Structure 1
Amino acid sequence: MMAVVPAQSLRVSEIKDPTVLFERYNTEEIRTIERRVRGGIEQKKEELRQMVGERYRDLIDAADTIGEMRQCSESVVKSIQNMYSFCNKLKQTKTSLQINSKEESQKQSQEKFYTMAAHIKLLLEIPERIWSAMESSQYLQATQLYLLCCHLNSQLHLEGGGPHYSPVLTRFPILVRQVAALGHFRSTILLDSKSLLRGRAVSDQAIAEALVSTMLLEDSSPRQALADFLLARKASIQQLLNQPQHGAGIKAQVCSLVELLVTTLYQAYAVFYVPPEGRLAETGLGSGLLFATLENATSATSAAKGKKVLHEDMSAGSWFKYLPPSVTDFQPALRTLAQPIQSEQLRDTLQQWIDTCKEDIRCGVSSLLVFVRSLKGLASIRDGVWDLLSSDSINQHWAMVCQRLLDKPISLWDDLLQQLFLQRLQAITQEGTEGISSSCRQLLTSALHDLEAQPSSLSLSSSLSSSSSSSNSSAGGFSRGAQFESDVAAFLWSEAAGDLQSDAAWVSVAQRGQQQQQQQQKSGLSMKTQALTPCVQSFCSALDAKLKAQLDDLQHYLPADKNGKDAASSTNVSPLETTSTSSSSAFNRFRDAWAVEDTLREHCLACVRDVLASVRTELASAQERCSGSPDASPRRMGLVLFMARLCQSMGELCPSLRQCILGKQQGAVEVPVRGTPRQSRKLSKGGGAKAVEVSPAQAKWAGLKEELLTCSMEAYGIWSGALSKTVVERFSAALHSESAGAILGTATNWEELEIQEEAESGNSVVSKIRLPVQPSWYVQSLLFHLCLEVNRVGGHALPKVTLVELLKGCLDQVLDQYEMLTRNCQGKDVAFLMTQNRALQLLFDVRYLSATLAARLEEGKSSRSQQDPRVQEVCDSLEGHIDPFIYVFIQGPGGV
């Protein structure tokens, strides 16, 4: 393990693992080491520049040396020529043939020397040409020049083995170093060529030249070139998906990905596809560029046409004429046989590439769509993809290209992106509705807390005695809206600025109804007539605003309202419609509109049912507290009534809820109507004769309204049960009172009647009897306070079923008390407790309560068929304490 060395003393060569630096040094020391390493790098770069400069100086020196050698050789030649001329004069005996042969040999030697010099000159100039070609992205030209360098190197080595040039090569070691320096060009050209294949904005010709460069350098086949092309594009796809962009960059990323896929298939057609024999090429699109480019680069006939590696600018020099034809007419050759790719092989390879890219694209796009937080942004990305694929440059030949390459049409949206966008839409909708559900639960808890926090400690029974004065009193410190839940009468008779709309003076009632249907607006007076308290209005308004925001966000993903026909056709798309749509555009953006609306519908139903579950939980808690305590407070009953009104009016005061479940088109047709389960059953019976087709969305909306009404009726049932129990308790206390003073205190006025009878003697006998003509005071108090409490909570807006159940509950409990009274009187010996007068009063009270509290008789039925048998039993028990003579009179036409 390396000892800890101070940062100032640490050498670069000692850095083996960068992770160790972060473990042993702090940030400042690491930055110091980084600056030292960067300084060393810059120093190395400077040394490299100096070394390259020294090499170029060596080349210049070598050129000067060659020039001096040429001068020396010329002087030597001149000297030799002089020597030959001198010797020729001395040796006149030699024949002229020998002299000519020597001159020819000298000329050949000179030409070989110039040829070698031209080789060296060309070898020194080619690297600069290669760098210029690579800077201008002409990789095929760079490859040809590199292969020419290799050809020159081989020629110099081959000729260097002869007796004339081997001493010269030993004098020019720069040649060996120059060829060695050219070795890195191969890897650089290969790397840059394959990097070019990853680009999206690259021409087809540049792609073909880059692939031909790779084939010439690696001696690969066209199939290997296709594999390299597809691998480069797959790497480009992965690089594009891994870019750390968020927000608005997601749209550009997804569109760039789609554009890359489309460009890949188009370039695969342009570069690799060769039409079969007998089939004409498509107009407007090129094909087979790879083989055409390869033919131009390697064919021997192209040199005759002037398409040579060495261009005219290089042939302008005087030394160029000394190059042999093997150099001037050089053309690279491909060792393998470049046969066109068969259609089946091209199809299978492209299909396999598409299949391998699908999973990467799905995972990558899914991770990108996580950063899209709204349906508006999701629709913007979808529309961007649609605009891209529907453009003329892509859509015009897309079907033909797919048919030629894959033998089938391909839709990038349907196969790759549609399901991903739909899943993200479902996730966004679920998050939104869950947020709405959570906020509604919090709002419900807050509203119930405000209602329960009223500083009223009066019980319902004690408030009955002072109800007339308490309705006008207001305790400071608690919300008026919360007070109105338990005292709706105060809300009804209060005035507010919004009771009448601003145009109420000049808009008729019929026009007002139409405006309310279109605008979903109601005046405050209309709210009061339905006993919709401010707390209920506030809750429903908050819920409706959240649902409307969710619905408005969803509308960006659905067809616009003005395109009603498109909207209708998008919800039920047939294959014929899909085909016709795809002919004019790349794909049908709104084909999954039904799934989008169904997603919102299901999540809205879950949201409302979650709120209903919270309401039912609160109702169960309130019912348990009411059943556990002998007396129910108005504050507690206000909570129950608030939840009852909330469930009853949620469907009406939240028009956005209806639109979310039925859709915006159907949701704006029907006007919501409040009602009860009994009313809905009547409507269903009345419309049963004419069968109406109900859509699944309408069935779900009807089911949700039924759930809301059921929950509302449960809450009203709790309230009616508690109210009937409370009012009957005071009645029971007065009824079971045994003291004479209490009984006389509850007595009312009796009426004296004269009865004339004829005695046996024929004389007329007049007798007087007293009969009750008013119910007892506690009976009147029971009915009065019952009416008062019903009026307090807005009895005009209560469901009829609830009122009937309230009356029936009160009657049942009253009869229980009368039955208990009659049983107690029968079991006691004291006759004072049940005198004839008291029995008459009780009988009058029972019949009066039965007639008042019993349900309204339906038409066509007699009173006896509807009378409770318990009433008859109590009456029979009381009649046993009455004189038969008086009882007969009571039962007569003028009786009670």
Structure 2
Amino acid sequence: MTASLLNLNVDTLFEQNNVSEIDAVHKKIQTVVENKREELRTQVGERYRDLLKAADTIAAMQTSAGTLIEQVHHVQENCRKLNEQQLLGFKDTLSPPAQNTILEGHGTRSKNKKLQNYYSCMVQIKLLTSLPELIWTHIDNEHFYAATELFIFSRHISTGLQLDGQSELMQKLPVAAKQWEILRPFHLTIKQAIMSVLERETINSDVAVDCLQSLLLLDKCDLVSAIKTFLHLRATAFLNSLESKTGKEPRRVKERILASLGILNDTIELIEKCLLENGGLLFSRIKDCNSSAWTPSINRMESSERQLAYLLPDIIANFKPQFDDPKLEVHQMSAALQQFLDKIDSLASKQLEQIFALVSNMQTIQDIKSTASATQERLNFNHLEQYWNLKASQLDFYGMKYTPLIHKRIREIIRNSWSLAMTKTYEKVLQQVETGQLPVAEQIWREQSEDLPLSLAAALNDQPKRLANRTKGYDSSTIDVCKQFDSYLADIVKEMNVLLQEQTTKSEDKLELIQFLRETAQEQITQYLGRLKSLKLKERRTLLQALSNTLALVELCPNLKLCFCPPSSWRQWSANSMGLEHWPRLCGLIEDEMFQFWLLVIDNVLSANSCKDKMPKAMNHEVVLRDFPLWQSQTLEQRDEDDPAERVQSTIRIPIQPRLSLQTYLHDLIHSLNQAVPQTLPPKVLQAFNQKLLSELLSHYESLSTSDCAKSSQNISLQLYFDLKFLERLFGITREERSLYDRFHSLQLSLKDCIDPFDFELFAEHISTHVARSSNRLHGEFGVLTPNSVQNQKNSIISPSNSSSLAHEADPNVLCLSSSGSTSLWFPLLPIVVPPQGLTAPTMAAERKTELMESEKTTPTRKTATTTRKSEGTNKSKSSAASFFGMSQEWFRSS
């Protein structure tokens, strides 16, 4: 815009544009002019402000310079007066002739003196010109005391030449002043080189003493100040060693930690070698420098310069630096060391802890401990702590600062590894709960080629055992979750082995580490269970998936048990019984929490298959005809009271099996249970399921017993009584289950009251026989609901209340296919719960009645054939089991 206005042609503007356009251009030009004026005012104002500031500064400098000149004039005047006072009494009082004679001799001597002064000045200037290169050579070779001595020597020469600066000769040789300007920066250069060396990770005692001597000579400071500077630089070296890069390439964490520890230990060693008054290397060096046998500084020059030493005045030729007598009080050294230790504590609490946070595995920690322990064996600073009145073990940097950080990092690694393992496992379980599908019974029990181990050793060592996992409902996804979780724990156990095998670790520290691993494992498992409970699962599928994955952790993760029960290689540092009570406690905790999930599952199954909906709610003749099975007719013979020779026969009818509706309900319930939970129910869950089921059945029978039809009909009461006796025997109700036992017997007594006492006395023995026979026959069909040990060879009843865990009880006639931890899960006999195709429960019951009636007429030949078939079936099963496990048939017990 501005460029276009500057190039504007006025004549063309008036020829090609109208008045309004010309007016607009005029306004634009005025606007630009005003902007330029404002910009010019701003620039002038800023420059004017700077000029005022510069003028004030010049005025202040002029005042200061005037004051300084005035003071210099005063100094010159005082020096002149002092010189005149010193020459009083030495003024020449001879006669003019004698004075002329003396002046002639004095002129000759004056001429020789001028020539000698000339050569002396030339040699001194020659020395000044040679000193920079020589000083640089000593600096490069890290001979700092030699470089410092030469610098002090150059300053001494320059000072003498400057004092004679008003002479005619020095006026003609300005090179002397210029050469000092070249030498002056060596004060800072030497000091910076000394500090750079003292900040290195490793320095020897000779270099340290050389640096301390140079500091004392350069700054003319006392020994305490030099020691504080030395300790400050070593603290800086400690901080620099923790950096990731000390050169061109980055350093590993282990190297940085060991380097920092080495700096601290080396610092104390240097103090011990150099600063102890009795035999300290620094004190002996200073004593040698102050002795008369120490050579002058001119001897450090090259041979060509040393040959001209006779031309130099004695004050320069014999010059050598002198040290004040060094004094180091105990309290001064203690204060300096305490300040150093406090600074190291501050740095360690911030920087060193951050470095240890980068250590990711136990092998690195073991390497650090091994190397550090080997170094600590040769160190013993107890006498230094007593000498300088320090606290006990305050100089043990490894024990006081590094060991706590190592232990802390070990615990962090264990906790982080456990947290990662538990988080990954929880995420997998949550994913399966949200999207996974539970396997159905056909998928779990489908035969696969991998089910058959090749030998007994393979069967015992196979993890996971496939058939045992099927009994518990562990599908391939659950096994994968446990496998991944166990791999994480295997890494933790492996790292623990690395630490526990480290010889330098104390036994009590190893014991604390084992206890920490157990506490961390318990804490993480508890948090995992809490997170599962917080999901508040309600659906049957999600509940089963969650509890299946959780219970599998105990069964399929052997390394989890190692966290609570230390292996034999760990027990040398702990009691042999350590952890024996913690593992059952954890298993009990998991089982208790999962038992609550099981209760929700069985409540869901029972609510979906309620006996109130599946069984008749009232008794009438139609229900009796449809629901009651065929009764057995029993003929009784007894003597006639009137004629003893005559025998009276009477026929009674006795129920031989429970109601068909009860059998159908139990069959449907088992079918629904198998669809919902294809695996075997643990005894504790089965006990809870049976208690809830029996409570509902008892409530149902209580309502039937109070009906008028049951009270008015003896046969109905007798059938209901038979059903209750059947349920009591089938489910193994004993006196230990007091509530159910009392309810059964009170209900049986109420039904017994509805039966004629004389008739009941005749029925009682036969009913007991039929109840036993019926329960034995239906035990296989209803075996899913009955306890595993409900019947032994004598048909004795064992209460399921003896089972106090979710583990399967031991059965001596069944092979143990899985054993882990506190739970020894046994593979129970699988009952046949699916009827043949095309048969219903009533049809099956009718067939069983027919078979029962025919069995009473069975000939001995049939019994023999039955026995033979039974023997063949038994031998066949033994043969199959023997081939399955690679054992001989003699191993199995005879049935």
TM-score range, shorter chain: 0.5 to 0.7
Distance 1:764 1:666, change over 3 A: same
Identify unmatched segments of 5+ residues in structure 1.
4-13, 15-94, 276-286, 454-481, 561-565, 573-591, 626-635, 670-691
Could you give the per-residue CA deviations for residues 71-116 of structure 1, whole angstroms, max 9, x where no partner exists?
xxxxxxxxxxxxxxxxxxxxxxxx9999987755544443333223
| Cα distance in structure 1, aligned partners of 2:745 and 2:727 | 13
| Cα distance in structure 2, aligned partners of 1:96 and 1:843 | 167
Distance 1:128 1:768, change over 3 A: closer
**One-letter amino acid of the structure 2 residue matched with residue 439 of structure 1:** K
SS of aligned partner of 2:581? helix
Distance 1:243 1:440, change over 3 A: closer
Q: Is the 8 A contact 1:296 1:302 kept in 2?
A: yes
C-alpha deviation, 1:416, in angstroms? 0.8
Match of residue 141, structure 1, among 133, 143, 146: 146
1:698-717 to structure 2, matched below 5 A, reads 698-717=580-599
| Cα distance in structure 1, aligned partners of 2:627 and 2:678 | 28
Q: Give the aligned partner of residue 883 of structure 2.
A: none
C-alpha deviation, 1:360, in angstroms? 0.9
Q: Give the aligned partner of residue 730 of structure 2.
A: 852
Does residue 321 (structure 1) correspond to residue 310 (structure 2)? The answer is yes
SS of aligned partner of 2:759? helix
Question: Comparing 122-131 with 403-412, which one deviates more in the overlay?
Answer: 403-412
Distance 1:148 1:521, change over 3 A: same
C-alpha deviation, 1:816, in angstroms? 0.6
Distance 1:243 1:780, change over 3 A: closer
Q: Give the aligned partner of residue 499 of structure 1.
A: 451
Distance 1:640 1:289, change over 3 A: same
Root-mean-square deviation (CA, aligned residues, Å) is 4.1
Give the TM-score normalised by structure 2.
0.66
Q: Give the aligned partner of residue 747 of structure 2.
A: 874
Q: Give the aligned partner of residue 253 of structure 1.
A: 256
| Cα distance in structure 2, aligned partners of 1:702 and 1:807 | 26
Q: Is the 8 A contact 2:595 2:685 kept in 1?
A: yes
Q: Is the 8 A contact 1:247 1:371 kept in 2?
A: no
Match of residue 423, structure 1, among 382, 392, 408: 408
Q: Give the aligned partner of residue 49 of structure 1.
A: none
Q: Is the 8 A contact 2:632 2:656 kept in 1?
A: yes
Does residue 351 (structure 1) correspond to residue 338 (structure 2)? The answer is yes
C-alpha deviation, 1:234, in angstroms? 1.8
Distance 1:694 1:803, change over 3 A: farther
Q: Is the 8 A contact 1:143 1:217 kept in 2?
A: yes
Could you give the per-residue CA deviations for residues 789-836 of structure 1, whole angstroms, max 9, x where no partner exists?
67778999543333333333322221110111233x23xxxx599533
| Cα distance in structure 1, aligned partners of 2:180 and 2:399 | 55
Q: Is the 8 A contact 1:662 1:697 kept in 2?
A: yes
1:605-620 to structure 2, matched below 5 A, reads 605-617=522-534
C-alpha deviation, 1:668, in angstroms? 9.7
Q: Give the aligned partner of residue 192 of structure 2.
A: 191
**One-letter amino acid of the structure 2 residue matched with residue 820 of structure 1:** S
**One-letter amino acid of the structure 2 residue matched with residue 300 of structure 1:** S
Could you give the per-residue CA deviations for residues 397-436 of structure 1, whole angstroms, max 9, x where no partner exists?
6666666666755322211111122222333333222222
Does residue 288 (structure 1) correspond to residue 289 (structure 2)? The answer is no
Q: Is the 8 A contact 2:434 2:542 kept in 1?
A: no
Match of residue 819, structure 1, among 702, 707, 732: 702
Does residue 442 (structure 1) correspond to residue 384 (structure 2)? The answer is no
Could you give the per-residue CA deviations for residues 467-490 of structure 1, whole angstroms, max 9, x where no partner exists?
xxxxxxxxxxxxxxx314xx2x75
Distance 1:321 1:722, change over 3 A: same
**One-letter amino acid of the structure 1 residue matched with residue 160 of structure 2:** Q
Match of residue 329, structure 2, among 342, 356, 365: 342
**One-letter amino acid of the structure 2 residue matched with residue 846 of structure 1:** L
| Cα distance in structure 1, aligned partners of 2:767 and 2:221 | 124
**One-letter amino acid of the structure 2 residue matched with residue 559 of structure 1:** Q
| Cα distance in structure 2, aligned partners of 1:264 and 1:871 | 88
Q: Is the 8 A contact 2:199 2:236 kept in 1?
A: yes
1:89-488 to structure 2, matched below 5 A, reads 106-159=111-164, 166-243=167-244, 249-275=252-278, 287-303=279-295, 308-311=297-300, 313-315=302-304, 319-334=308-323, 337-389=324-376, 395=378, 409=393, 410-451=395-436, 453=437, 482-484=438-440, 487=441
SS of aligned partner of 1:373? coil
| Cα distance in structure 2, aligned partners of 1:259 and 1:155 | 47
Distance 1:805 1:239, change over 3 A: closer
C-alpha deviation, 1:261, in angstroms? 0.9
1:63-74 to structure 2, matched below 5 A, reads none
Give the TM-score normalised by structure 1.
0.66
Distance 1:845 1:361, change over 3 A: closer
Q: Give the aligned partner of residue 537 of structure 2.
A: 621
Distance 1:546 1:248, change over 3 A: farther
Match of residue 735, structure 1, among 604, 616, 630: 616
Q: Is the 8 A contact 2:735 2:741 kept in 1?
A: no
**One-letter amino acid of the structure 1 residue matched with residue 450 of structure 2:** G
Q: Is the 8 A contact 2:614 2:665 kept in 1?
A: no
| Cα distance in structure 2, aligned partners of 1:154 and 1:736 | 127
| Cα distance in structure 2, aligned partners of 1:181 and 1:796 | 95
**One-letter amino acid of the structure 2 residue matched with residue 127 of structure 1:** P
Distance 1:526 1:105, change over 3 A: same
SS of aligned partner of 2:615? helix
Distance 1:442 1:329, change over 3 A: same
Q: Is the 8 A contact 1:604 1:660 kept in 2?
A: yes
C-alpha deviation, 1:364, in angstroms? 0.7
| Cα distance in structure 2, aligned partners of 1:196 and 1:326 | 33
**One-letter amino acid of the structure 2 residue matched with residue 836 of structure 1:** Q
SS of aligned partner of 2:500? coil
SS of aligned partner of 1:752? strand
1:432-831 to structure 2, matched below 5 A, reads 432-451=417-436, 453=437, 482-484=438-440, 487=441, 491-492=444-445, 494-504=446-456, 507=457, 516=461, 521-528=463-470, 532-559=474-501, 570-572=506-508, 592-617=509-534, 621-622=537-538, 636=540, 639-665=542-568, 697-724=579-606, 726-729=608-611, 733-737=614-618, 740-755=621-636, 762=643, 766-785=649-668, 798-823=681-706, 825-826=707-708
| Cα distance in structure 2, aligned partners of 1:892 and 1:294 | 120
Q: Is the 8 A contact 2:444 2:678 kept in 1?
A: no
C-alpha deviation, 1:657, in angstroms? 0.8
| Cα distance in structure 2, aligned partners of 1:272 and 1:555 | 45
Q: Is the 8 A contact 2:366 2:499 kept in 1?
A: yes
Could you give the per-residue CA deviations for residues 709-731 of structure 1, whole angstroms, max 9, x where no partner exists?
2224333444444445555527x
Distance 1:783 1:127, change over 3 A: closer
**One-letter amino acid of the structure 2 residue matched with residue 264 of structure 1:** T
| Cα distance in structure 1, aligned partners of 2:668 and 2:523 | 41
Distance 1:546 1:834, change over 3 A: farther
Q: Is the 8 A contact 1:498 1:523 kept in 2?
A: no
Distance 1:258 1:666, change over 3 A: closer
Aligned length, in residue pairs? 669
Distance 1:324 1:702, change over 3 A: same
| Cα distance in structure 2, aligned partners of 1:443 and 1:206 | 62
Distance 1:249 1:406, change over 3 A: farther
Q: Is the 8 A contact 1:658 1:701 kept in 2?
A: yes
1:24-43 to structure 2, matched below 5 A, reads none
Q: Is the 8 A contact 1:144 1:309 kept in 2?
A: no
Q: Is the 8 A contact 1:269 1:405 kept in 2?
A: no
Distance 1:662 1:413, change over 3 A: farther
C-alpha deviation, 1:230, in angstroms? 0.9
